[in-house]
A and B are shown apart, each in its own frame.
Chain A
Amino acid sequence: GENVEQHPSTLSVQEGDSAVIKCTYSDSASNYFPWYKQELGKGPQLIIDIRSNVGEKKDQRIAVTLNKTAKHFSLHITETQPEDSAVYFCAARSYSGGGADGLTFGKGTHLIIQP
Chain B
Amino acid sequence: NAGVTQTPKFQVLKTGQSMTLQCAQDMNHNSMYWYRQDPGMGLRLIYYSASEGTTDKGEVPNGYNVSRLNKREFSLRLESAAPSQTSVYFCASSEALRGAGRRDEQYFGPGTRLTVT
Contacts and interface: CB of A to CB of B under 8 A. Distances in A.
A105 B50 contact: no
Nearest to B43: A105
A102 B45 contact: yes
A101 B105 contact: no
B44 interface: yes
B58 interface: yes
A43 B89 CA distance: 10
Contacts of A99: 31, 50-51, 54, 56, 96, 98
Contacts of B59: 1, 102, 104
Contact of B40 (A1, A34, A42, A107): A107
Interface string B45-59: 100111100101011
A93 B111 CA distance: 22
A44 interface: yes
A54 interface: no
Contact of B110 (A43, A103, A107): A43
Interface in A4-50: 4, 6, 32, 34, 36, 42-46, 49
Nearest to B33: A102
A100 B50 contact: yes
Nearest to A4: B42
A47 to B, nearest CB: 11
Given A43-B90, A43-B109, A102-B45, A93 B40 contact: no
Contacts of B42: 4, 6, 89, 105-108
A99 B56 CA distance: 10
A100 B90 contact: no
A79 B112 CA distance: 34
B117 interface: no
A43 B111 contact: yes
A36 B105 CA distance: 11
Given A43-B90, A107-B42, A102 B109 contact: no
Interface of B: 4, 30-31, 33, 35, 40-45, 48-51, 54, 56, 58-59, 90, 94, 96, 98, 104-111
